[in-house]
Amino acid sequence: MPEIWLNYGMTDVVLDIKAENLEQKIDSDAKIMEDQAINDKLSSLDLKKPMELVVLHNSRSIQKIISSIFMMCEQKSFPFPKILAEKKIMNLVKTGLPEGSSINEFADTDISNSNLVFLSEVEFDGLFGYETIATRLIRQFGEESMLSAYAKRKGNFPASGQISESFQEAKKFVDGFEIQGIEIVANSAGIVDFDIGHPSQTASAIKTLESFGIRDIGEQKSMIISTGKDASNDTLNKSLSSMWNCSAAIKKDGLAVLVAECKGGIGSGSIQQFIEDQLRLEQLQNPTKYVDGIENLLFLSEIQKKFQIGLVSILPEFYSKKLNMIALPGIKQAMGYILKTQGQRQKVSVVTDGARMLLR
């Protein structure tokens, strides 16, 4: 019996699946950068001048970049950069920081400080095509620009892996800020590559992700999807991107199970409003105001016309039912549900790194 480990929040859970039920295990595969190559590339940073590293989400790859920068500063007797993060992830980021570092809350609405260097990993995204520093910043600071980006979406289905007008809107938003970014391309094994520069310049990072993250697998009847890292399943809103990345490879009337802890809850004002009956599906097409996560609510309502979605999470069952998702208490029960409803001989494809994979 194959043993497959899937990320679930800060831990991994094991999926016990019989060999005859495993269609394929799908993981991102790429050559990982050696430490020396990372340091060589980071040497283009001017470490002598004041620097404030803004962590947009937590991951092992981001921690690796910070540790490498600190080591280089120590070797050259340069001052350590300041580290900033949103209050909700400060403690999480702090646990992985190098000795001698401290972290402060990034609560500024002003992102025009030229000392700021933003750190994040590139992923696929249903609205923008790709999740980059630019798209993270427009989501966080550009409410009006987000309404325009949402209006320019490619239809009512996810457009993961497609450069869209929405993505151009995100680039336009960050163009006016004199900031820098470290755009990391990674998989579950480590850093594959990274770019240093203005967040509006992400082309090569996107190309690198495409080079190992896109897989043609044909249409599958049953699929279990893990996001690959806890920062991508911290909330339901964030974890849904992994579902969109795999949706083109799921057959009509098929079943996809998303494994996402969602310890941060829903993570979307729009989805919360829908659950509380304050927002109707008819209002999703042309809203007068952007409320975070509205695109995921729209995509969910459309995708569910094609196939069923199950959810393994710690969210109340009431939430799942309200969103027309099948609530499953654990990975073992998820496998049992698939075999019960799809047949004991059902072949299941398992995706271990859904946030950084695009299946077709």
Q: How confident is the model at residue 96 (pLDDT cuts 50, 70, 90)?
A: confident
Name the residue with tokens 């750190």: 119
Domain boundaries defined on the chain = 3-27+214-359, 35-210
pTM score: 0.92
Please write the tens of the pLDDT for every residue from 284-295: 999 999 999 999
Residue 110 predicted with pLDDT over 80: no
Q: How far apart are CA 224 and CA 259, in angstroms?
A: 7
Residues 6+ apart with CB under 8 A from 14: 3, 4, 5, 6, 331
Q: How far apart are CA 253 and CA 224, in angstroms?
A: 15
Residue 15 predicted with pLDDT over 70: yes
Rounded average pLDDT over 80-95: 89
Helix (H, G, I), strand (E, B) or coil at 217: coil
Rounded average pLDDT over 189-208: 93
Rounded average pLDDT over 103-117: 83
Per-residue pLDDT at 227: 94
Candidates 255, 263, 258; CA nearest to 241 is: 258
CATH number of 35-210: 3.40.50.11440
Q: How far apart are CA 238 and CA 234, in angstroms?
A: 7
For every residue of 38-52, DSSP letters joined together read HHHHHTTS-TTS--E
Residue 95 predicted with pLDDT over 90: no
CATH number of 3-27+214-359: 3.90.226.30
Tokens for 147, please give them: 């309404």
Tokens for 3, please give them: 């043993």
Count of all residues that appear for the chain in the document? 360
Radius of gyration of the chain (CA): 20
Per-residue pLDDT at 101: 79
Rounded average pLDDT over 337-346: 92
Per-residue pLDDT at 204: 86
Residues 6+ apart with CB under 8 A from 97: 63, 66, 67, 83, 103
Q: How confident is the model at residue 171 (pLDDT cuts 50, 70, 90)?
A: very high
Residue 109 predicted with pLDDT over 70: no
